[in-house]
Amino acid sequence: MPKVTIDGVSIEVEAGTTILNAARKIGGDLVPPAMCYYSKLKGSGGKCRVCLVEISKGSEANPNPMPKLQASCCTPIADGMEVKNMTSQKVQDMRKGVVEFLLINHPLDCPICDQAGECDLQNLGFDYGAQTTRYQEGRRTFDKIDIGDKIQLHMTRCILCYRCTYVADQLTPHRDHGVLNRGDASEISTYISHAIDNDFSGNMIDVCPVGALTDKTFRFKSRVWFLKPYRAHRQCSHEKCNGQVDLWMFGNDVYRVTARKDEYHEVESFICNECRFDHKNKADWTIEGPRKLEKWSVINQGKYMKRTAEVNIDTEKALLLGRDQDRKRISMVAPEEAKKK
């Protein structure tokens, strides 16, 4: 098998494997970020340019470096190839420029956006974003529209990754939406305001890397770091849905249902709209246990990482009524422990 070296770490992978997927097999910080590539959606990738890497050695047969940075999500590896990602200053400078470009028209909606806390662009902005903007022109704006009774499109936040169109192409019998217009007027929309109505349309929400597509049944109801994500499943009647989901709960209330995601925020298996929207009752599900989250996730803070010292607030007792009960509802409790209580 061909051997590739990424940031000094070597690995043998199957021929045809892309640099990004080879890096994911290694894992860790050397994995390039991706905003448009999705391993389960054919044809995705090559649009956001966030995953560009420097190829310092093309292969054993041709050891010359590639003169320009290459998109790791669609560049196959070659035997003896050497790649620089985090160790390349050129890549880091490029990534800062790409993030600045993505943020040019992106509104500062993080304080009110439902995607906050699990947003890939928010993570990139934290790592590579500048504190100020050099952009002085008017920003691109669009009106919010409903593209179904359960989904709202906030096009102003969209980065045109095309993931939602691939979901419609590959999971549903027909696609009612796509990219309209060209240049800075490009937008994801439906022709003549058609509503998107199919059994798997809700998966567009899960694949969206920003808050452009939101679940109207969850919109503005809670922040994700106040909820407890649990692995759960049910016997689903849809032949293409296995009923395996993540339940986002506060106490015994189910606030939202999403498909299960891996460490790269990609859906493990797509779920139907019935599981997503119609079963918000805890009794409808078999709880398997808490979902494992990334150590840096904002949802983890104060729950999974370490115990923090208790803080005694010197104030009137009347102001603290309900504080202990609320803390118990927010904190993560394993299902078997909850039954004991």
The confidence score (pLDDT) of residue 133 equals 84
Whether 17 and 91 share a structural domain: yes
Residue 149 — pLDDT band, cuts 50, 70, 90?
confident
Domain boundary among 190, 215, 240: 215
Q: Which CATH number does the domain housing residue 54 bear?
A: 3.10.20.740
Q: 239 and 302 in one domain?
A: yes
Q: What are the backbone angles phi and psi of residue 226, rounded to the nearest 5°?
A: -90, -5
The confidence score (pLDDT) of residue 188 equals: 78
pLDDT in tens, 255-303: 999 999 988 999 999 999 999 999 999 999 999 998 877 665 666 654 4
Residues 234 and 189 in one domain: no
Q: Pairing between strand 81-84 and 3-6?
A: parallel
Residue among 93, 95, 87, 103 nearest 71 (CA): 95
Boundary residue ending a domain (165, 198, 215): 215
Do residue 92 and residue 126 come from a single domain?
Answer: no
Residue 59 and residue 34 share a domain: yes
Q: For residues 178-203, give the mean pLDDT.
A: 75
Instruction: Measure the CA–CA gap between 233 and 245, rounded to whole angstroms.
Output: 6
Do 163 and 201 sit in the same domain of this protein?
A: yes
Mean of pLDDT over the chain: 85
Give dist(CA 247, CA 229) in Å, integer: 5
SS3 324: helix
Does 135 reside within a domain? no
Judge whether 322 lies within some domain.
Answer: yes
The whole model's pTM is what? 0.81
* 165, 92: one domain: no
171 and 204 assigned to the same domain: yes
| Residue pair 163/207 in contact by the 8 Å Cβ criterion | yes
Q: Are 3 and 10 in contact (CB under 8 A)?
A: yes
**Counted domains in the chain:** 3
5-18 confidence digits (pLDDT tens): 999 999 999 999 99
**Token duo for residue 328:** 């118990």
Measured between its terminal Cα atoms, the distance across the chain in Å is 54
What is the domain range of residue 79? 3-100
Question: Which of 215, 238, 261 is the last residue in one of the domains?
Answer: 215
